[in-house]
Amino acid sequence: MLTPLSDNEVTTRLAALADFCPLAQLHSSLCSFACRTKIASRLRPVRLPFFETGSKVMQDKFTERFAVGIIDADKRRPSYLDNFYDVASAPHLHLLRHRNRPHFIILVSPAIDGFILSCVESEALDLSLYGFSPVLKEFTAQTKNVMSNKDSRFKDLFTALRDNREIKLLKSVLTYLIKAKYLASDTELLEIFARN
């Protein structure tokens, strides 16, 4: 079994992701806090074989390199996903693996905003205590207007969600994939989903 990454290793990688792809900040913030880390305010971006963005970047810029993408389960499914097969699923997280490349996709359903609200609901948290609306449309509008990796409200919210079953699953899957890279095993990934 692989040893987990340290908080600093995960923090460095996730902070680099937010710098690499500003549109991924909410995903990056969620993943960072799922991994019980803090995004340091002044980390120098580094080039990594791991990123968090849409399937287009994965397909074009990481052709033969290891990559993990976290995308929303939108109504429009990217055609690139036709090259993936299901590895494992949970109620809101679906892990896909490319048939011929070292690429993984974590499909979040519904979109990331709905996923967060579902986690909040399952933990019986009051979103107003964190400065957010519990109404999906309003919450989505609030998340689009902030830089989530710099907003302390997200830090506090994700810290409160750290023991949520699917947040823990996300942490376990990301930690395993970052560590295993090209050697990731479907069997071990299924075990991670079964344990969580």
Residue 66 phi/psi, 5-degree rounding, is -65, 135
Could you check whether the bond before residue 91 is cis, i.e. omega within 30 degrees of 0? no
| pLDDT per position as a tens digit, 111-147 | 888 899 999 999 999 999 999 999 999 988 887 766 6
Residue 70 has pLDDT above 60, yes or no: yes
37 is written with which tokens? 């880390």
Q: How does DSSP classify residue 65?
A: S
User: What mean pLDDT comes out for the span 174-191?
Assistant: 92
Task: Name the one residue in this structure whose structure tokens are 């907003």.
Answer: 151
Cβ atoms of 95 and 189 closer than 8 Å: yes
Residue ranges of domains in the chain: 7-195
| pLDDT band (50, 70, 90) for residue 151 | confident
- Mean of pLDDT values over 106-115: 86
